[in-house]
A and B are shown apart, each in its own frame.
Chain A
Amino acid sequence: MARLGLNLMKCPADFWEEPTLLMTRRHAMLASTGALLGTTPFARPALAESGPILIGWLAALTGPSSAPAIGFDRGVRFAADEINAAGGVKGRKVEIVTRDTQGDPTKAVNAVQDMIGRQKVNSIWGPTNSGEALATTAVMARAKMPNMHPCVVDTLIDPAKYPNAFRIAPSNGQWDDAVRNYCLNVLKVKEVAVVGDTTGYGVSAVAASVAAFKKDGANVVYQAQIDATQPDVTPDMLRMKNAGAKVLVVWSVATGMEARLMNERATLGWDAPIIGHPALGSGDVRQLLEKPANWDKVYMAGYASCSYDANGKLPPRTADFVARLAGKVSLQDSSLWWVAAGYDAVKLVTDAVNATGSSTSEAIIGYWNGLRDYPGMFGTYTWTPQQHNGYPTKEVVMSQANSQKDGAFKLAPGYA
């Protein structure tokens, strides 16, 4: 029925004008049989267990902030193609049911309801930004739908409230831990300025970061919110400098604001390191810099799996993955971790089906809850029934923001 519905949606005019051309007697018989089976409580699981493994993919492929989803999508497609080329999982093919949410929480909720109610997917990957996830997580929890996502907001993971939801990437708290550890234990500075933008994310991230720094004995000499559209950040930078900050911690995805901070730091002749959110390494920052040197001494939260060591080598598992991607997936305009996490998201579902022989929600969730040190391409994941943050904090490292090559970054000084 779902497939028939999709076909009809592709040619609505033909359907409404000449329905008999499309709805043949055989289709009608199949449709009515399907409807009958759909209403029989024991029939559908039998069909589902032998048909393709359906993975819903909530992708913000267009609209604002679409770059990550485009990267994730490359990994998802690559994984599905690779698995299907090898014969599938116990004879079952993998099908990706993609819905473009455009980053809109309302569209994401509608897509989830469609995937659960009509498409009957076995698991959902995504959404990939926290705004959407805040809207969809409860909907998926009600349907007990196995859900893997990479969104960073800490409250999205709560095994008691959402036993179906698992995080494949670090939480914001883990980024914060890595940044704080780098400031206090690697750079060994205690005078810290913490700034963010005026969005909800910026405000909450600064508050959490300041509290954690203070708890660890750091001296937070300045904290503030900066409007991302503020054309001149001189006043803020002067206040930070005059307060005696030795390092600037920045929590924002606003690349314009980050570039302005770097440019102003250079104008003031200041060399305090800027450390923080992964957006500090975005290509959008590079083109807004007045001089390439303004990007020096800027370190961002990154990942051990997607970082070059002092010899310019990726970890062996990642290097093997990149070699498999060569010629099939472009890494020129994408972060490697997006592609790797998308790949892992599909593999985690198919490995669950392979290990348990079942694609039911209970089987997939149970499998994920029992994983210890699962060797993914993006990370080495561990989930338990009590802990659904699966990414190890020790694999969150600091990277040199200006060192991106083929989607990966060099480790920041102090790790080598």
Chain B
Amino acid sequence: MFSSILWTGLAIGAIYALIAVTYNVMFSASRVMSFTAGQVGMLGGVIGAWLILRLHMPIIIGFPLTLLGCAAVGVLTEIVAVRPVIAGLEKHLYVLSTLALALMMQQFTAIEWSTEPQPFPRIVGAGFALDEKFWLPLLACAAVIVGLELLYRHTLVGRAFLAIAEDNYAARALGLPERGLRIASFALAGAIAGLAGFAGGQLLLASIANGPMLNFYGFVPVALGGLGNNRGAIVSGLLLGVFQQAANFLFGGVFVSVAVFAAFIVVLMAAPQGLFGAAPTRRV
């Protein structure tokens, strides 16, 4: 029982954490909370299964193509659902536009793929004490943490991302190509979500039902970890996964969601800025 709580919980938590990072990367570049994050995660599983199982591509080709496809969907999100409404952020029209695009993604996938869950291929094969469906999401999560650290701290483009996230207007005044960087951020976010769906494909299966589920549970670590805080999102995502799996053993059924969201509300009441978010300050 303990082993199941730990490994299944951590694996699911890693997927939630990656979706939370997707939310954050999109938000940092645009100040838009894009509700397509979970759907792109779902597409990571679906596109991966489609390329490898249906088109019989080798994994070494199918995997990067999946990430490219999801990155393209990220760019599409920016063009279709974010750019037209970004001028009026205070009206929160992005809620409608990103939700509408998310619904379109789900319907399109249902029609072109399947409404029923489909199998996802084995990636590595046998030979490990722990099944790969448990450690692949954790490996993907670690790779994203390291990759983002390297990008943000050691590359010029990464610093430009941070500059845009820190102060959009000042960054533009310095001559940074804000639109180009925003598009790149959405492509990066799409690839991260795609990686989450691909790495978690064996656990979640390639199913359209994963879209709303990931949208929902991927948002919880964002709130718990503090909006825009990737480290907080990762830790909160992993904790959420373990807590959810423990609740599965303790309560089961519909009470799992109740337990998760009861805990969520309690945490937010105690720390409204999230477990890892800084309290808002205002320069006077």
Chain A residues in contact with chain B, CB under 8 A? 62-65, 198, 224-232, 234-236, 238-239, 255-256, 259, 282, 284, 287-288
Cα A62 to Cα B205 with chains together (Å): 23
B110 touches A63 (CB 8 A): yes
Closest Cβ of chain A: how far from B58's Cβ, in Å? Answer: 20
* B57-98 at interface with A (beta carbon < 8 Å): none
Closest Cβ of chain B: how far from A241's Cβ, in Å? Answer: 13
Closest Cβ of chain B: how far from A227's Cβ, in Å? Answer: 7
Q: With A225-B253, A231-B203 known to touch, is A284 a contact of B116 (CB < 8 Å)?
A: yes
A287 touches B119 (CB 8 A): yes
A236 touches B252 (CB 8 A): yes
Q: Which residues of B contact A255 (CB under 8 A)?
A: 116-117
Cα A86 to Cα B249 with chains together (Å): 63
- B110, B203, B245, B252: the one within 8 Å of A64 (CB): B110
| Sample of 30 A–B contacts (CB below 8 Å) | A64-B115, A65-B115, A198-B253, A225-B253, A225-B254, A226-B252, A226-B253, A227-B253, A229-B204, A229-B209, A231-B204, A231-B205, A232-B4, A232-B8, A232-B245, A234-B8, A235-B245, A238-B1, A239-B252, A255-B116, A255-B117, A282-B116, A284-B114, A284-B116, A284-B117, A284-B118, A288-B117, A288-B118, A288-B119, A288-B205
A234 touches B116 (CB 8 A): no
B118 touches A287 (CB 8 A): yes
Chain B residues in contact with chain A, CB under 8 A? 1, 4, 8, 12, 107, 110-111, 114-119, 203-205, 207, 209-210, 213, 245, 248-249, 252-254, 256-257
- A62, A224, A228, A287: the one within 8 Å of B253 (CB): A224
Q: Which 7 A-B pairs have the closest CB atoms?
A: A256-B117, A64-B115, A284-B116, A235-B248, A235-B249, A232-B8, A231-B203
Q: Which residues of B contact A282 (CB under 8 A)?
A: 116
A234 touches B4 (CB 8 A): yes
**Which of A225, A235, A236: most chain B CB closer than 10 A?**
A235
Closest Cβ of chain B: how far from A228's Cβ, in Å? Answer: 6
Q: Which residues of B contact A228 (CB under 8 A)?
A: 209
Cα A204 to Cα B45 with chains together (Å): 32
B204 touches A235 (CB 8 A): no
Closest Cβ of chain A: how far from B216's Cβ, in Å? Answer: 10
Cα A139 to Cα B256 with chains together (Å): 39
**Which of B1, B245, B248: most chain A CB closer than 10 A?**
B248
Cα A262 to Cα B218 with chains together (Å): 28
**Which of A224, A231, A234: most chain B CB closer than 10 A?**
A231
Q: Which residues of B contact A287 (CB under 8 A)?
A: 118-119
Closest to A288 in B: B119
Closest to A282 in B: B116
- B111, B116, B203: the one within 8 Å of A63 (CB): B111
Closest Cβ of chain A: how far from B212's Cβ, in Å? Answer: 9
Cα A288 to Cα B4 with chains together (Å): 21
Q: Which residues of B contact A62 (CB under 8 A)?
A: 111
Closest Cβ of chain A: how far from B202's Cβ, in Å? Answer: 9
Closest Cβ of chain A: how far from B2's Cβ, in Å? Answer: 12
Closest Cβ of chain A: how far from B93's Cβ, in Å? Answer: 25
Cα A232 to Cα B209 with chains together (Å): 15
Closest Cβ of chain B: how far from A167's Cβ, in Å? Answer: 25
Closest to B202 in A: A231
Q: Which residues of B contact A239 (CB under 8 A)?
A: 252
Closest to B15 in A: A231
Closest Cβ of chain B: how far from A194's Cβ, in Å? Answer: 12
Given contacts A282-B116, A284-B117, 4 further A-B contacts (CB under 8 A): A232-B4, A235-B4, A239-B252, A256-B207
Q: With A224-B253, A288-B205 known to touch, is A230 a contact of B248 (CB < 8 Å)?
A: yes
Closest Cβ of chain A: how far from B182's Cβ, in Å? Answer: 32
Closest Cβ of chain A: how far from B106's Cβ, in Å? Answer: 10
Closest to B248 in A: A235
Closest Cβ of chain A: how far from B88's Cβ, in Å? Answer: 31
- A63, A64, A227, A259: the one within 8 Å of B256 (CB): A227
Closest Cβ of chain A: how far from B237's Cβ, in Å? Answer: 15
Q: With A224-B252, A239-B252, A256-B117 known to touch, is A229 a contact of B207 (CB < 8 Å)?
A: yes
Cα A44 to Cα B12 with chains together (Å): 64
Q: Which residues of B contact A236 (CB under 8 A)?
A: 248, 252-253
Q: Which residues of B contact A198 (CB under 8 A)?
A: 253-254
B203 touches A256 (CB 8 A): no
Cα A269 to Cα B114 with chains together (Å): 31
Q: Which residues of A contact B256 (CB under 8 A)?
A: 227, 230
Cα A236 to Cα B249 with chains together (Å): 8
**Which of A64, A236, A282: most chain B CB closer than 10 A?**
A64
Closest Cβ of chain A: how far from B258's Cβ, in Å? Answer: 12
Cα A255 to Cα B116 with chains together (Å): 7
